[in-house]
């Protein structure tokens, strides 16, 4: 499985490129997430942009949000002749119920569009390359200026019944984020 051996190098390269490009693109943060579903695994890197709008501000907490542009790889332990990996590129909008100083515990939910490079992975078949990715999660933001962020997310991918069958894929994920501002 050549793709499995290349994954750490691809992730390291993506981190270096994203870090170098961050000031130019006015990126507010970066993310790395890792997930699994039995014999299926995923790893993704993302660029983050805060929304300036706040909703339901109670004086100590509010609902805010951010955009997440991501790219990653899904892989599986498979028999010979089956696809063992695919590339996932996505754009997700996320709402987050958080403290006004952006530190401490939070809850979040998001939905976005994902484009898959293949419509099969191992024994699983996706009827469309376009997938909707929705998630719910919780996490904790900490450190100087709330720069560090660690969370758990449950993410579901499916084509929303655009075409049958709609096999979908779920991932339990651990997500690390670093906020520049």
Please report the DSSP string for 64-131 in residue order. Answer: EEEEEEEEEEEEE---TTS--EEEEEEEEEEEEEEETTS-EEEEEEEEEEEEES-SEETTEE-S-SEE
Neighbours of 79 (CB within 10 A): 8
Mean pLDDT of the chain: 87
Give which of 105, 167, 96, 103 is closest to 136, Cα–Cα: 96
Tokens representing 147 are 């720069």
% of the chain beyond a pLDDT of 70? 86
Q: What domains are there in the chain, each with its CATH number? A: 2-179 (2.40.160.20)
pLDDT digit string, tens, across residues 114-145:
999 998 888 888 889 999 999 999 999 999 88
The pLDDT of residue 137 is 98
- Contacts of 158-163 with C-beta under 8 Å, sequence gap 24+, read 158/131, 158/132, 159/126, 159/127, 159/128, 159/130, 159/131, 159/132, 160/132, 162/127, 162/128, 162/130, 163/127, 163/128
pTM of the model: 0.82
Per the model's pLDDT, the better-predicted residue between 25 and 73 turns out to be 73
At 58, the pLDDT band (50, 70, 90 cuts) reads: very high
Please report the DSSP string for 27-57 in residue order. Answer: --EEEEEEEEETTEEEEEEEEEEE----BS-
């Amino acid at each position: 499985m050549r793709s499995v051996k290349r994954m750490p190098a691809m992730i390291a390269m993506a981190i270096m490129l994203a870090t170098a490009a961050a000031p130019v693109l006015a990126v507010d943060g970066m993310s790395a997430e890792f997930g699994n579903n039995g014999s299926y695994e995923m790893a993704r890197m993302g660029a983050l942009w805060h929304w300036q709008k706040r909703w339901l501000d109670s004086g100590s907490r509010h609902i805010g949000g951010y955009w997440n542009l991501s790219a990653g790889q899904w892989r599986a332990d498979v028999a010979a002749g089956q696809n063992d990996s695919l590339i996932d590129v996505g754009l997700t909008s996320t709402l987050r119920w958080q403290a006004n100083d952006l530190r401490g515990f939070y809850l979040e939910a998001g939905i976005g569009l994902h484009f898959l490079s293949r419509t099969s992975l191992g024994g699983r078949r996706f009827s469309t390359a376009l997938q909707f990715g929705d998630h719910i999660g919780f996490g904790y933001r900490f450190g100087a200026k709330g720069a560090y962020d660690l969370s758990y997310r449950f993410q579901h991918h499916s084509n929303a019944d655009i075409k049958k069958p709609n096999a979908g894929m779920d991932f339990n994920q651990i997500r690390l984020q670093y906020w520049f501002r």
